[in-house]
Structure 1
Amino acid sequence: MLALGQQVLASQGFSRLLGTEMTAYSPEGVELRLPMRPELLQQNGFAHGGVVSYLADNALTFAGGSALGIAVLTAEYKINYLRPGVGQALVARAQVIYAGKSMATCRCDVFNVMDDGTEKLCATAQGTIAKVG
């Protein structure tokens, strides 16, 4: 399942542009990692909110896809930014809360990965993922 997820991620031009990596993918959840670099920061030196939001959205969709199949789209999601995105990387971990036949509700936590390897919660999100077709 991880190899298929990595293949799908690699087919996303925007994810390639940002440098996103899939480090786990199973029915239990997904983990996406995004190494931080200057181009992803806003004017105060924090990860741009759009970058944090992208990572949560993509992780939610992959989580939904683990239950519904790979042909899925985000129907909606909500994100709460809890602290600025800092550190060497951001890691998003998402899992399915509930899955029906055509929609899944998923949650995601995004963490700052600090230089010493510790993690601090940066944002949390919840979304609805819909099967296409």
Structure 2
Amino acid sequence: MNETLLLQKGRAFLALQPFSVRIGAELHALAPGHCELQIPVTGSILQQNGFVHGGVVSYAADNALTYAGGSVLGFAVVTSEFKINYVRPAIGQRLIARAEAVYAGKTQAVCRCDVFVQLDGEEKLCAVAQGTINLLPARDASK
């Protein structure tokens, strides 16, 4: 599948995720083994200290990891585990999650992701994540 079709398919799947739509998540790039997901920072995703809520930062990492893994395994995938380290509060206008598959087998991909916050055009690292993405088993059409 060429990158344009891959990106279109990825965007179609993102549009089926109500939470992604609610927070305005945008799939900016998708290529085999690579993903860039962006989220505009609005008041509705901030916590009480004015930072982007850690759950939203975690969401960005998880979804980007899954897209990076799914781009090499196929779109029927789930995250089986991931870990995140927050390195700075996310204060800015936009979150940018960039993920890549560092290993891809037949049914599993290990991916890493850097999450940046953009403030006045400058990107600052706010989190680092790593996760394992697994291919879902084929569905039995008789059930």
TM-score range, shorter chain: over 0.9
Q: State the 1:4 CA deviation.
A: 0.7
Provide structure 2 residue ranges, at least 5 long, that are not aligned to the other structure. Answer: 1-5, 138-143
Residue in 1 that maps onto 2:100: 95
Identity of paired residues, percent? 59
Give the match for residue 22 of structure 2: 17
User: Which of these residues, 119, 124, 129, is aligned with residue 120 of structure 1?
Assistant: 124
Within 5 Å, which residues of 2 pair with 1:42-121? 42-115=47-120, 117-121=121-125
Question: What's the counterpart of residue 31 of structure 2?
Answer: 26
Q: How many residues align?
A: 132
Question: 8 Å contact 2:45–2:53 — kept in the other structure?
Answer: yes
* Contact 2:51–2:91 (CA under 8 A) maintained in structure 1: yes
User: Could you tell me how far apart the structure 2 residues matched to 1:75 and 1:49 are?
Assistant: 20
RMSD value, Cα: 0.6
For 1:131 and 1:104, the matched residues in 2 are separated by 9
Instruction: After TM superposition, give the deviation of residue 27 of structure 1 in Å.
Output: 1.0
TM-score by length of 1: 0.98
Q: Does the alignment pair 1:131 with 2:135? A: yes
Secondary structure in 2 aligned to 1:3? helix
Per-residue deviation, 1:28: 4.3
For the pair shown, which has the larger CA radius of gyration, 1 or 2?
A: 2
TM-score by length of 2: 0.91
Q: CA deviation at 1:119?
A: 0.3
SS of the aligned residue for 1:57 comes to: helix
